[in-house]
Structure 1
Amino acid sequence: MMKLRQGLAFCLWLLAVGAWAQTDVWRADSLQEVVVTGTGTQHLLKDAPVQTEVISQRQLQQYAGKSIEDILSGLTASFDFSESDMSSRLQMNGLGNSYVLILINGRRLHGDNGGENDLSLIDPNNIEKIEIVKGASSALYGSDAIAGVINIITKKHKEQGLMLENTTRFGSYGDIRQHNGLALNYGKFSSYTNFQLQHSDGWQNTSEEAISQTEYHITDSRNKTVNRHTNWQVSEHLTYQFSPNIEVYADGSIYWKRIYRPCGHHPGVDVKTYDLQYDNASISAGGKWYLGGSKKEDRGTRDVITLDVDWKKHAYNYVYTDTTLTDGYVNGRFTNYFPYFPGDKELQSDHRLTNVSLKGVFTLPYEQRLSAGFDYRYDWLKAPMRVTSGKATDNTEALYVQDELALLNPLHITAGLRLTRNEGFGFRLTPKVSAMLKLGDLRLRATWSQGYKTPTTKELHYQYIKNMNGVYLYLGNTDLKAQHSNYFGMSAEYTIGNLTMTVASYYNKVNDMITLVTIPTKDAPGELITQYDPIRVRQYQNMEDAKTYGVDVTVRYQTKEWTAGGSYSYLDTKAHQYDSEDETMKEVIIDGMAHHKANVYVTWNHDFSRYYHLGIGIYGRMSSKRYYQIDGDGKGYQLWRLSTSHQFGKNYRLEAGIDNIFNYVDRTPHGLHLGTTTPGTTVYASLVIRFNKGKKLTNKYKSNLNSRDNEEN
């Protein structure tokens, strides 16, 4: 706690420096951002009926984060991540991955690795801005939106003609980040091709295994804190403007990722005889039909009908690096032991998702804006080693409606309702009501909403073994109930001159929350106990209830050259779980909770000439201890970062910086929870080159494109 207090004191000092270092009055343009995520319709950020947090293009460019995890944890206090081979364990205001809906341009991200989103699918160099809406949003977005929504909005390459761009970044521990883009815009046709590659050699912060987890006393483990890994992705986006009112698009992508895992010497503890490989693909198509009139300038407020059809595949495989005798399965049933040899690949899961979304937005009399739509989702999972019957499917349909009423100015009310039908869990209504009161530069907002989430195919049907510091047996549960929640949020936002302050409080109660629970070995299926002889059995079960509540505070001061800001998040959680072994109701925590998290930053930007621009930023983030039910708690930490950017003319940019300036390293033994996986002080440098050859856009054409792009999200 002493270190945390020192860090918070330093934060306040930095804010004071930034606030008084520049006396020019320059209205921060961030409040003029157009946002769409909170209501699905276009609003200025300052007038958005639902509290929305925005990470702008200016912030992204100055921070120069290497990944979306780096960006979110570095620029807002509401998030925390734990990196692992199965990707990033995200937590937002006390709830984990499966309760946070991640969108790319308003469409669902699909890359589930054991309940953890593979955020490597997002190219950080192609992000225009990020919109964050906290709290249950199931009325508008359906399942997975109990904790909130993160909408990644990609860059719109609007220049007519040809545009080429390249970003190459190198960092410590063999960190390589490569981005290439090719945009073509000719008349009614436009195309954007994107390539990204990410690689790291990985690192080892400790060679100790958690002694409490095993009979071995191991000090020479070859397990790494972060393993060597490589991934790449190629994507294509095509659009065609049939007429001023009709636009269609098609896009697709392929993605590949490999986690290289070192072999060990201690049986049952750190032996790795296979790497992990992921193969993703996606195809999407859709369009927009604007109703009435043909003025592009009015697209942000015109009636529109949109259709989106998505098909996405995420496959997860073992690639063997040594001869291995492992379980053989037919239709999900163990048959015999089967040998695999170096180079052999074994499918673990192939999860395919089909989404169809039809939506209309219509202007009604008396200052109303009506949104209505239909969603269809079909999940198909093949997992021969992990699902009891080898395959599982699920389908969900939903109808929703939302009305935005501005007649009661200065009071703005938004109300929505979704009717969901799931094949296994029937019908469910989820409402949402939000209100905003405008009093000059003060905005008061309040929200009540319900969330709804059915169990995933994994939670229902999975059974698998995890061999790390002993044998763990994980089981699905076909008796699970659907989860539902009640969310209450209130916020006050005040702007005076260049200073914006926001205080937001929330209370989120999740009933029948699904979590992994350690159960007595005698309660597991007998054939599995005989086969594996596990030291611990964990099963997905419903908690009686779970509560998260807290307060988020954000301060931002911006002038022409200086920006200073910070955010602080207080969180507490409580949950009640029935202990079948002791036959008692116990109060437990939600895994990964930290009571205190904070971020702070000060940036300075200056044009020395028309050919050279310098930007300098200091960023700090800190967290108190993170609590877990088993395997120890994660330590609190402070991490500080220095970033610089150098713009040469319009087409060349150099970024360089130092991460973790004070060289903090968490050396907790393998098998226990970490506060952070950072390897210590690292350096990075990246070069951005941009080439554009095409027609110069007129101001009128730019205005038309900007209006169109705001509505595309």
Structure 2
Amino acid sequence: MKPTYLATILAMLLSPQLVVAEEVDSAETANIERMSVIGVRQRLEQAGTLANTIMKTEVINATTIENKNAVNLSEAIDNSPGVKVSNECSMCGVKRIMLNGMKGEQTTILVDGLPVHTMISGYYAVDAIPTTGIERIEVARGAGASLIAPEAIGGTINIISYEPTENGAELDVSAGENGYRKLGFLGKGVSEDGSTRATLVAQYDDRDQFDADNNKVNEAPLQENRSLTARVSQDVTDTDNLVLRLANIQSEIFGGPMLGSTFADGTASSIGNVLSGFDDQFSEPQQLFEDGDVRKPFTGKTWETTEWIKTERNEASLAWLKEFSNDWNMHLATSYAEHKQDSFYEGFDYTAEDKMWFFDARFNYLLSENQLLTFGADLRTEEMRSHSRTGSANPDYASDSFDYDVKGIYLQDTWQATDALEVAMALRYDTITADFTDPKKPGTELDESILSPRLDIRLRHNDEWTSRVSAGRGYRAPLSFFETDHGILDGSLGFNIDIDELERSNSASYALSYEGEKLTSTASIAWTEVEHLAALTTNDHGIPLLTQLDEKATVITSDITFGYRLTEDMTLSLTAEHFDYDSVFKSSYAVAPIEERVTLSLDWDVNDWEFFANLVWVGSRDLSEYGYDGYNRLDANGQVDLDSKKTTDAPAYLTLDLRVSYEINEYMSLYSGVSNLFDYTQAGDEETPLFYDAEGAFDVGYIYGPLRGREIYAGMKLTF
């Protein structure tokens, strides 16, 4: 084996990259669903016979991902325009990626344009998606943003894999405070004739628990991730291209008692030690903390605050692109995802296996030089089965297992009406069935058909000004009890269902862009209305109940971005955003979302040095509007101390990230930086996310600010 090929295989294993947001132009990139590759696909894209971008799309490129020192997907896209990664549990660290103010479960994640994430993998999996081997991330906001993902009410996130142009490898190693470590490897191989392009990507990363208020219960959990991905793109002939991708991702999260500390049942020496100590004998709520106060040291049994989640996800996809003529091409694709979860939630054990298959047959026909017709059909089938030893001991226990099937056909007409006006009209028709399969849940909960249209218009007013208008309809089947982070905690009682409608949404947006010699800017506003919005509550017996709201919920998002090139080497970026949620939407959130945000970034390249700074301001909020109500202390009788009522005024705050890198030569660069320089955290500067509700029950979701503090790091990147 040649050394270059060996280096390629190694380099494909691990490689980190950075994040930058910018607007996509059709002349620069293809539709959110396109695959950027060399050879057959690239030729068809350049000829305009695969796809064309009309809708407003933000791109987070590899340089931006690197500058943010983003280890995973959630870090890479957080604070991009219209994007918020919400941390909704201080114990397990579950993350939700919110687009246009929508809830996290209303976002669809694609890889190279194909779905490889199951219903339940969007909760703990986003922190395990590595940034090594990512060429860019495309964010399209709004219902119907993807022809093959109509359930994306909030929008789609499309992860585009790196495709090599030469043999080589990249190795990225970094470490820092709070147990942060990362090893990333990207191996690149290209055949002599260029028809075969392969990558091998591997990444390992981990972080320790974080406890800012020293009450021996973490605000951010320990997390360890491993991933291995292999991808091959083969031009079989001058008119045929095959892409095969295989991936394995493993993640372990441990949250709750600080490992190494001593509690009522001994020292928490290891994760295994904590889990094996479960005795099913719960302490009284007022005995969990010293003096019954969540701000003081935890004195209960270690397992009583433990949330442990171990997941493994296997992904596979195969896509065939066939060019029949200059006017015709066909794209056949299939993807498979298997998500396995083994978990323990403060005394309740839960295992689940979720398998999903997706098939898509798409055809593109060039009706004329100015009109492209795209049509096809797809099928998605998903099967989730869960089990609980604790739950099975209850004769009335009903699981949350389900079957989900979607069959759809679609048609899109992209028309270049004039040199200045471009229009895309799309229509999908789907039949959806969703069935909770536990014998205690007879019948099929959802059996519906739905028509989902979408319209995108781009109008170039002149060389500098461009308008974009989008409107669409989407749907989603609410199936998972993880839609609120603590819906699983009472799972030992079973899972109750009151779902008989699809969530249905209508959305519309307008964006005005300016592109000058030094200044670029985009102002946009988006409106989304959702009917039958899912919400999780409990029934009269305290059993988790997945139900739907009667009223329609509405969110209006407005933002403006500026980019200004101060010099040839220095760029300044500013984004200001406002999110306006109506009272119905506010009542559905488990954790209060942001309402105002301003982001200021500076990127300065000088000789072999690069400096990057990112300042984020988040405005204050009234938490009472989101249903926050909690207390810090219980008295000796287990009653809440009314004088310990927690604040409902979430203050404004600032975070600042800095990074500097130095390129020693073409083979080696060094970098160092700091995340959250001001070390602002909710628990360290305001108050703990732990609380007692009005009935005296302990909970962990009183969250409104950052939960992980300052992190200084340094690293080295090698290129072979």
Q: TM-score range by the shorter chain?
A: 0.7 to 0.9
2:170 alignment partner in structure 1: 165
- Measured in 2, the distance between the counterparts of 1:38 and 1:226 equals 33
Change (3 A) 1:312 1:605: same
Change (3 A) 1:316 1:647: same
Within the candidate set 660, 679, 682, 1:644 is matched to 660
1:448 alignment partner in structure 2: 471
- Measured in 2, the distance between the counterparts of 1:281 and 1:684 equals 31
Q: What SS does the corresponding residue of 2:582 show, helix, strand or coil?
A: strand
Greater relative contact order, per chain length (Cα 8 Å cut-off, separation 6+):
1
Query: What amino acid maps onto 1:353 in structure 2?
Result: M
- Measured in 1, the distance between the counterparts of 2:128 and 2:361 equals 25
1:394 and 2:404 are equivalent in the alignment:
yes
Within the candidate set 498, 506, 514, 1:494 is matched to 514
Query: What amino acid maps onto 1:490 in structure 2?
Result: Y
1:101-116 to structure 2, matched below 5 A, reads: 101-110=108-117, 113=120, 116=123
2:573 alignment partner in structure 1: 565
Within the candidate set 338, 342, 352, 1:317 is matched to 342
Q: Deviations over 1:125-158 (max 9, x none)?
A: 3222221111112661334311111112122112
1:621 and 2:616 are equivalent in the alignment:
yes
1:307-456 to structure 2, matched below 5 A, reads: 307-318=332-343, 348-365=351-368, 367-385=370-388, 388=398, 391-423=401-433, 424-440=446-462, 441-456=464-479
Change (3 A) 1:476 1:33: farther
1:290 and 2:311 are equivalent in the alignment:
no
- Measured in 2, the distance between the counterparts of 1:391 and 1:79 equals 29
- Measured in 1, the distance between the counterparts of 2:712 and 2:488 equals 39
Q: What SS does the corresponding residue of 1:69 show, helix, strand or coil?
A: helix
Query: What amino acid maps onto 1:438 in structure 2?
Result: R
- TM-score, scaled to structure 1: 0.76
1:511 and 2:531 are equivalent in the alignment:
yes
Report how far residue 347 of structure 1 moved: 5.2
C-alpha contact 1:39 1:50 (8 A) present in aligned 2:
no
1:482-561 to structure 2, matched below 5 A, reads: 482-517=502-537, 519=539, 521=540, 529=541, 534=542, 539-558=546-565, 559-561=567-569
- Measured in 2, the distance between the counterparts of 1:127 and 1:115 equals 19
Report how far residue 281 of structure 1 moved: 1.2
- Measured in 1, the distance between the counterparts of 2:240 and 2:181 equals 41
1:661 alignment partner in structure 2: 677
Q: Which stretch of the first structure deviates more once superposed, 633-642 or 420-429?
A: 633-642
Q: Which stretch of the first structure deviates more once superposed, 485-494 or 662-671?
A: 662-671
Report how far residue 71 of structure 1 moved: 2.5
Change (3 A) 1:111 1:117: farther
- Measured in 1, the distance between the counterparts of 2:55 and 2:400 equals 43
1:137-148 to structure 2, matched below 5 A, reads: 137=144, 140-148=147-155
- Identical-pair percentage: 17
C-alpha contact 1:604 1:617 (8 A) present in aligned 2:
yes
1:246 and 2:249 are equivalent in the alignment:
no
Q: Deviations over 1:400-438 (max 9, x none)?
A: 111111123322111000000112322110001111111
Report how far residue 277 of structure 1 moved: 1.0
Query: What amino acid maps onto 1:180 in structure 2?
Result: F
1:216-227 to structure 2, matched below 5 A, reads: 220=215, 222-227=216-221
- Measured in 1, the distance between the counterparts of 2:604 and 2:26 equals 21
- Measured in 2, the distance between the counterparts of 1:111 and 1:203 equals 29
Q: Deviations over 1:555-587 (max 9, x none)?
A: 11135201101111111111449xxxxxxxx97
Query: What amino acid maps onto 1:666 in structure 2?
Result: Q
C-alpha contact 2:163 2:197 (8 A) present in aligned 1:
no
Query: What amino acid maps onto 1:308 in structure 2?
Result: A
Change (3 A) 1:56 1:190: closer
- Measured in 2, the distance between the counterparts of 1:549 and 1:239 equals 41
Q: Deviations over 1:55-113 (max 9, x none)?
A: 23333333332332223224445323216425312222211211111112112241654
- Measured in 1, the distance between the counterparts of 2:137 and 2:366 equals 27
Report how far residue 38 of structure 1 moved: 4.7
C-alpha contact 1:138 1:418 (8 A) present in aligned 2:
no
C-alpha contact 2:146 2:156 (8 A) present in aligned 1:
no
Q: What SS does the corresponding residue of 2:703 show, helix, strand or coil?
A: coil
Change (3 A) 1:413 1:39: farther
Q: What SS does the corresponding residue of 1:79 show, helix, strand or coil?
A: strand
- Measured in 2, the distance between the counterparts of 1:95 and 1:464 equals 19
- Measured in 2, the distance between the counterparts of 1:349 and 1:489 equals 38
- Measured in 2, the distance between the counterparts of 1:587 and 1:190 equals 50
C-alpha contact 1:588 1:629 (8 A) present in aligned 2:
no
- Measured in 2, the distance between the counterparts of 1:291 and 1:458 equals 46
2:223 alignment partner in structure 1: 229
Query: What amino acid maps onto 1:662 in structure 2?
Result: F
Q: Deviations over 1:448-474 (max 9, x none)?
A: 1111112226589x997516xxx9967
Q: What SS does the corresponding residue of 1:116 show, helix, strand or coil?
A: helix
Q: Deviations over 1:308-342 (max 9, x none)?
A: 1111111110379xxx9x77xxxxxxxxxxxxxxx
Task: Return the structure number with greater strand share.
Answer: 1
Report how far residue 31 of structure 1 moved: 5.7
- Measured in 1, the distance between the counterparts of 2:371 and 2:506 equals 26
Equivalent pairs counted in the alignment come to: 588
C-alpha contact 2:453 2:473 (8 A) present in aligned 1:
yes
1:128-207 to structure 2, matched below 5 A, reads: 128-137=135-144, 140-159=147-166, 162-186=167-191, 187=193, 188-207=195-214
2:87 alignment partner in structure 1: 82
1:674 alignment partner in structure 2: 703
Q: What SS does the corresponding residue of 1:664 show, helix, strand or coil?
A: coil
Report how far residue 488 of structure 1 moved: 1.2
Change (3 A) 1:94 1:30: closer
Within the candidate set 125, 134, 139, 2:132 is matched to 125
- Measured in 2, the distance between the counterparts of 1:40 and 1:476 equals 40
- Measured in 2, the distance between the counterparts of 1:309 and 1:646 equals 42
RMSD: 3.2
- Measured in 2, the distance between the counterparts of 1:56 and 1:114 equals 24
Q: Deviations over 1:474-515 (max 9, x none)?
A: 744243310111111111101121211111011111111112
Q: Deviations over 1:537-556 (max 9, x none)?
A: 55432342100002111111
- Measured in 2, the distance between the counterparts of 1:659 and 1:416 equals 42
Change (3 A) 1:474 1:497: farther
- TM-score, scaled to structure 2: 0.75
1:280 alignment partner in structure 2: 313
1:67 alignment partner in structure 2: 72
Within the candidate set 327, 331, 334, 1:306 is matched to 331
2:641 alignment partner in structure 1: none
1:572-651 to structure 2, matched below 5 A, reads: 572-576=580-584, 591-607=591-607, 613-625=608-620, 627=623, 628-630=626-628, 635-651=651-667
Q: Which runs of 5+ in 2 are unaligned?
A: 1-21, 36-44, 258-262, 265-281, 289-299, 392-396, 434-445, 631-647, 691-699
Change (3 A) 1:223 1:465: same
1:36 alignment partner in structure 2: 30
C-alpha contact 2:119 2:480 (8 A) present in aligned 1:
no
Q: What SS does the corresponding residue of 1:256 show, helix, strand or coil?
A: strand
